[in-house]
Chain A
Amino acid sequence: MAEKDKYLIFLGCLIPYRVAAYEISTRRILQKLDVELVEMPEFNCCGLPMDPVDHKMMLIMAARNLAVAEQQCSDILTLCSGCSGTLRKVNKAVKENKKLWRSINTNLNKAGLKVEGSIEVKHLVQVLIEDLGLERIKDSIVNPLTTLKVAEHSGCHILRPKESAGFDDPEDPKMLKSLIEITGAKCLDYMNESECCGAPSSGINDKIALQLTKDKLNHIKSVGAQALITICPFCHMMYDTNQGRIEKMFRENYGIPILHYPQLLGLAMGFSPVDLAFGDLRVDASNIYACTSELR
């Protein structure tokens, strides 16, 4: 039903609040790949932040977004692992669970909306791999980043629960790795790679949340990664925005730049660090683009 290479972009809440670089770099690379992005005509939070207090509230909020997208006959492209996991889970439930589907619609009807389960929800990484294909991305690369060694963090809600996330191996994630390697950079394995960044526990217990992030940063540092590549604004916030705080709190020194994946791909496509909003990153990433510009 939905047209090829045209998506409704679902920004979520954290990206417009404080992670603009992810959006800016995503728009750059998708334009280069001839993908058309349409804005959501109406939006509310995906619902995930409300799931701990009211599961029903989450279901209805997610379904509202699906209903709006269905009116546009367009698939949704998400950037946040949290939004992605939530919308995909509810979309699957709407398609497979008749009883739940009816009960959600009873609530949506009060606002004149209806959900049918006629569209798909895909994270950026899925769109790049499943819809566009690695070959097409490869063709757009003019500046291979062959001197770079990086690590990846896919994030929980894109991998788990396996049953509803279902497109990568939670024990050994490969999708983001393959996308990194296509830029010419080497993607290093490290211990506890698919483990949580800690973000959902911040606000409840910041210390525990930051200990999780610190633990991951230790493993990433120990394999000698020059940067960490993320595909979720929450994970990025934990590693980048909070890195200085973690260094102070635990008397550590990391200095590991944290890049949104489209920033890495954008460099390989020949975009400038300014075009890709590298200035927004809290941890200085000038080492990364300095070693890429030598190649030009």
Chain B
Amino acid sequence: MITVETYQTHVETSGIDKRFKYEISRFPGGEKLLDCFQCGTCTSDCPIARFSDTYRPRQIIRMAQLGLRERVLSSETIWLCASCFTCSDHCPRGVEVADVMRVLRNLTTQQGHIPRIFRELGSSILESGYAYRIPKRRIDRREALGLPLLPKCNPESLAKSLRNVRFRQFLSEKGR
């Protein structure tokens, strides 16, 4: 299956954001974006690209360099990266490809586009400290097996240290 999104043949110049590449370079992990010379090592070594018809890290990097802000940030494929860091380790130019994907996802999040799984994990963490809501039967089983009590989280303290975190603000405003 070839999607229009990735194989669109022409680009409207009005859709180009020349500052986009510099915006990405300012985030930790995005610094080397401009060094990519399109050798394609990232895509050829990517285990996700092997099974996905759409996820091509080299292509996303190029689109980011060219300033195709909206196309990159509205693309579903940036969420497919498994963060296995094979691309980052193999890149001959030192581009932190997996970190660039994370920067792009973070930027997308700021626009309010968040896959459901992250809302679920996020609200569980803010409530209990744990990414999953641990069922009571698991807690009871620990006791029956003689395992120590699970360490407790202090959600008020957690919320205080996350006061300036945008995703936390986002979750408490609209996420519930």
Taking Cβ atoms with an 8 Å cutoff, the residues of A that contact B are 11, 13-14, 16-18, 20, 23-24, 27, 39-45, 49-57, 60-61, 64, 100, 107-108, 110-113, 156-157, 160-162, 170, 192, 195-196, 198-201, 203-205, 208-209, 211-212, 215
Interface string of B142-176 (1 = CB under 8 A from A): 10010111111110011011111111100000000
Partner of A160, one of B79, B85, B130: B85
Whole-angstrom distance from the CB of A86 to the nearest CB of chain B? 11
Residues on A with beta carbons closer than 8 Å to the beta carbon of B5: none
Whole-angstrom distance from the CB of A121 to the nearest CB of chain B? 16
B37 at the interface (CB under 8 A from A): no
Whole-angstrom distance from the CB of B125 to the nearest CB of chain A? 5
Indicate if the CB atoms of B79 and A52 lie closer than 8 Å. yes
Taking Cβ atoms with an 8 Å cutoff, the residues of B that contact A are 27-29, 47-48, 50-52, 79-86, 88-89, 96, 98, 102-103, 105-106, 109, 114-115, 117-118, 121-122, 125, 129-132, 134, 138, 141-142, 145, 147-154, 157-158, 160-168
Indicate if the CB atoms of B131 and A49 lie closer than 8 Å. yes
Indicate if the CB atoms of B84 and A203 lie closer than 8 Å. no
Whole-angstrom distance from the CB of B101 to the nearest CB of chain A? 8
The 6 closest A-B pairs by CB, nearest first: A54-B167, A160-B85, A43-B151, A196-B84, A203-B117, A44-B129
- The distance in angstroms between the C-alpha atoms of A64 and B161, with both chains bound, is 9
Indicate if the CB atoms of A156 and B85 lie closer than 8 Å. yes
Using CB atoms, name the residue of chain A closest to B131. A13
Using CB atoms, name the residue of chain A closest to B114. A53
Residues on B with beta carbons closer than 8 Å to the beta carbon of A170: 89
- The distance in angstroms between the C-alpha atoms of A208 and B162, with both chains bound, is 33
Whole-angstrom distance from the CB of B116 to the nearest CB of chain A? 9
A43-B152, A50-B118, A212-B82 known, 15 other contacts, Cβ within 8 Å: A16-B134, A24-B147, A39-B148, A42-B153, A43-B150, A45-B125, A49-B118, A51-B83, A52-B79, A54-B166, A56-B164, A111-B161, A157-B85, A204-B117, A211-B51
Indicate if the CB atoms of A53 and B151 lie closer than 8 Å. no
- The distance in angstroms between the C-alpha atoms of A44 and B122, with both chains bound, is 12
- The distance in angstroms between the C-alpha atoms of A199 and B47, with both chains bound, is 12
Indicate if the CB atoms of A44 and B125 lie closer than 8 Å. yes
**Taking A16-B134, A43-B153 as contacts, is the C-beta distance between A49 and B125 under 8 angstroms?**
yes
Residues on A with beta carbons closer than 8 Å to the beta carbon of B79: 52, 204
**Taking A54-B167, A55-B27, A200-B82 as contacts, is the C-beta distance between A195 and B47 under 8 angstroms?**
yes
Indicate if the CB atoms of B84 and A160 lie closer than 8 Å. yes
Indicate if the CB atoms of B89 and A54 lie closer than 8 Å. no
Residues on A with beta carbons closer than 8 Å to the beta carbon of B109: 52-54
Residues on B with beta carbons closer than 8 Å to the beta carbon of A200: 82-84
Partner of A112, one of B47, B50, B96, B157: B157
Indicate if the CB atoms of B151 and A11 lie closer than 8 Å. yes
- The distance in angstroms between the C-alpha atoms of A52 and B47, with both chains bound, is 19
Indicate if the CB atoms of A162 and B165 lie closer than 8 Å. no
Residues on B with beta carbons closer than 8 Å to the beta carbon of A17: 130, 132, 134, 138
Residues on A with beta carbons closer than 8 Å to the beta carbon of B83: 51-52, 156, 200
22 example contacts (A-B, Cβ-Cβ < 8 A) are as follows: A11-B151, A16-B138, A16-B150, A23-B147, A39-B148, A39-B151, A41-B151, A42-B151, A42-B152, A49-B121, A50-B125, A50-B167, A52-B106, A56-B164, A107-B164, A107-B165, A110-B160, A111-B157, A162-B89, A208-B48, A212-B47, A212-B51
